[in-house]
Amino acid sequence: MELLVYVDRSTIEPDRAAALEAAVRELVDHVAAHDRRVLLYAIYFSDDRSTMTVVHVHRDSASLEDLLTLIGPVLAPFRDLLRLQAIDVYGSPSEAVMAQLRSKTRFLGGTVAVHSRVAGVDVAIPE
């Protein structure tokens, strides 16, 4: 099993940090209520509240695909709150995941980069 790690970075629109914080709290509640496969889903703001980073970790590509399907319909409010800069995926995403990520960048901006693992240590994660 190769875990997938997803990281995206966005610039928060000026004077929109409070509205974005409220929106991401709703998004996290939505994920918590509907997704049982994601191992980690976390959103971070820089200290000056000018950038946001989203990190999630998945057991496999199917888990990432399911999460992207779940959150896709609720991303509309984010378009006016941030500018997506980049999405980085660490591991081997499926072509279906890549299509979803390309769709996300068409909607919110930014680029997608995949980073293939060269070496590492796997940790046993219970089902």
pLDDT tens for residues 75-117? 999 999 999 999 999 999 999 999 999 999 999 999 999 999 9
Model's pTM, two decimal places? 0.93
pLDDT of residue 5 exceeding 80, the answer is yes
Mean pLDDT of 51-68: 96
Residue among 93, 86, 76 at smallest CA distance from 52:
86
Higher pLDDT, 103 or 125: 103
Domain ranges, ordered by start, for the chain? 4-115
| CATH code for the part of the protein at 4-115 | 3.30.70.100
> Could you count the other beta carbons within 10 Å of the beta carbon of residue 89?
22
d(CA 103, CA 50): 24
Mean pLDDT (whole number) for 58-75 = 94
Query: What is the average pLDDT across 45-61?
Result: 97
Residue 13 is given by DSSP the state: P
